[in-house]
Structure 1
Amino acid sequence: MSRVGFIGTGHIAAPIARLLARKGHEIYVTERNATVSAALKVDINATVGDPQSVIDQSDVVFLCLRPQAALDVLEPLSFRPDHRIVSVMASVSEADLRSLCTPAEDFVQTIPLGFLENGGCPMAAFGNDQLLANLVSPENPVVKVANEASLNAHFAICAMVPGVLDLLATGSKWLAEQTGDADGAEFYTTQLIAGFLASTEKDRAGRLAAERDALATDGTLSLQMTQALQTDKAHKALRDALTAIGKRLET
C-alpha cells in the first residue's frame, strides 16, 4: 500500500481520500479546507499537515487545487524525483505540472467526480494511466487518452453533467407541479434515468442514438420530445457550450 497525500482538500479530494483509505492506503491531507480535513482525520484517520509535510510523507501526491491557485501553492514546494503525481486540475498543462513539480517525472492527469467513492466513475487519464488504475480500479474504470487535447475534451463532457442535472431538475419540478408531490417527482425522475442507463448495453459506439430511436418512433410522445429539443436548438446550445469550454481549457 502507498502513502497518499492530497494538496487541496475539498469536494473532489475528500471522496478520493475515503476510497483510497478503504483500500488500505495511508492518507495525508492539507488543511486548505479545515472543515473537510478535520472530518477526514476523524473518519479515516488521515494525517493533517502543511503542504510541504504532506508531500514529504507521501509516495503519491494528488494535486486537487483550483487551477488559478496552483502556481501560488505549488511553486514554493519541493518534490522528490520518486514522487508519483496525480493531477485533477483542469487547464493545468503537463508542461506546467512538470515545471511546478520538478524533479518528479511520473505524472497522470485525470478527471474524477465525487461519486467515484462508490465506484462506477469513468476516469479519463493522460500520462501514466497504470498509476491511476492501481489506485482507483477496479471500482472505477480508467480510460486512457492519447493527448492533452483529448483530456480537455473529456473535461468538457464532465462539465455537461451539471447541465444534464439542471434539465432533470426542471423536469422533476414540472412533474411536481402536476402531482403536488415534490419528493415523489424527484424520486421518479432520477430513478427513471438511472435505471434506464443501467440497463443499456455498454461499450458500444452508437448505442445512445440506437436507444433514442427505439423509443422515438413515429407518432410517439418520445418523438415529440426529441423533435421539440431539436427545433428549439437545445443540441446546438450543448455543442456550442462544449466547444467554448474546450477553447477555455486550451488557454
Structure 2
Amino acid sequence: MKLGFLGTGTIAEAVLTGLCTGADPPSTVVSPRNADRARALAGRFATVTVGKDNQAVLDGADLVFVAVRPQQAEDVLKQLRFRRDHRVVSFVALYPMSKLSLAVAPATAICRAIPLPSAAMRVGPIAVWPMLPEAVEILARIGTIVPIADESLLEPVWATTALMAPFYEQLRQIACWAVEEGVSPEQAGAYVAALYSAWTTVASGASDDFAALRDKSQTPSGLNEQALRIMTNASHYVALHTALDAVLGRLRESAM
C-alpha cells in the first residue's frame, strides 16, 4: 500500500520519520507545499518522493493522510479529486467528519487520528475514530492505538494534547529554578527530564488510578504534601481545568 501525505508540517514529518526509521518503511509520496521540508524528507528517506502537486499525491497513493492546518483544509481538499477506493486519514484538529466526508467524496473509508510529535520515536498514544483497518495497521507501527468510541469523544482527547507546551514549560521552570539555586544547566535539565520520565513510567503502569499514586507519593507533613498543598491553594489545578475547558470549547465550536 502506497501512502500519500497532504501537508508536510510538524506532525506529518513526525509520522513519516517514525514510519521510515522503522521496519519495512512504506513507499510514500508527499506534497510539495512546504518545498524545503518535502525535499529534506525525500533526501533522508529512500522510500519518500515529492509529488509535483497535491493531486499527484492522491493519484499515486492508496492511503491518504490529510495533515494540513485547519484553516487550510477546506481550500486544499476542494481542489482535489479523490477516488472511491482511497483510504483517508485526517490529522486536522478542527475539521469534523461531517465536513471531511463531503470534501473527500467519493471516498468513504475515512477516519480521524491524533498522532503526536513523539511518533517520530515510535512512542505515545494515537487516538483513532473510527477504526479504519488500513490506517490502524500503519499507525500502530509508530505508537499505541487508542480506539475512540464516538467522534464527540475525540474533542476532549484532543484538548489534552494542548498541554504539551505547558508541560515543557513546567520542566523548563523547574530546571531554571534549580540553576538559580546553583545546579549547572546541564545537570538541571538532565535531572528534571529523567525525573519526569521516571514518574510517567510509573504512571503508565497504574493509569486507572492516578489518585492512588498521588496518595502514595506523599506523607503527612512531608515535602510532597507541602508542595501539593501550596500548588492547590494557588489554584494551579484550577488553571489546568480552565485551560482544558477553553481548548475544548474551541474544538466544539469548530465542529458546529
TM-score by length of 1: 0.95
Q: The residue matched to 1:9 in structure 2 has which SS? A: coil
Instruction: Write the distance in 1 (CA, Å) between the matches of 2:191 and 2:206.
Output: 26
Counterpart in the other structure of 1:71: 74
Conserved in 1, the CA contact under 8 Å of 2:8 and 2:33?
yes
Q: Is the 8 A contact 2:19 2:142 kept in 1?
A: no
Q: Is the 8 A contact 1:129 1:144 kept in 2?
A: no
Instruction: State the distance in 1 between where 2:74 and 2:247 align.
Output: 22
| 1:180–1:196 CA distance, 2 compared to 1 (3 A) | closer
* Native 8 Å contact 1:122 1:140 kept in 2: yes
Amino-acid identity (%): 30
1:146, 1:232 → 2: CA distance? 36
- Deviations along 1:48-83, whole A, 9 cap, x unmatched? 121000010000000001000001111110000110
2:120 to 107, 113, 117: 117
Residue identity in the other structure for 1:53: A
- Whether the 8 Å CA contact 1:67–1:90 is kept in 2: the answer is yes
Residue 213 of structure 1 pairs with residue 220 of structure 2 = no
Equivalent residue for 2:246? 244
User: 5+ residue gaps in structure 1?
Assistant: none
Equivalent residues of 1:6, 1:28 under 8 A apart: yes
**Other structure's SS at 1:12 match:** helix
**Residues 2-13 of structure 1: matches in 2 within 5 Å?**
2-13=1-12
Structure 1 runs of 4+ off > 4 angstroms?
none
Shift, 1:132, TM fit: 2.8
Deviation string for 1:143-163 (max 9, x for gaps)?
111112210111101111211
RMSD of equivalent CA atoms: 1.4
In structure 2, distance between residues paired with 1:203 and 1:171: 25
1:230 is matched with 232
**CA displacement at 1:180 relative to structure 2:** 4.4
Compute the TM-score of the two structures, normalised by the length of structure 2: 0.93
Please give the per-residue CA displacement for 1:9-46, whole angstroms capped at 9, x wherever unaligned.
01110121122234331010011112211111111131
Cα distance in 2 for partners of 1:90, 1:157 equals 12
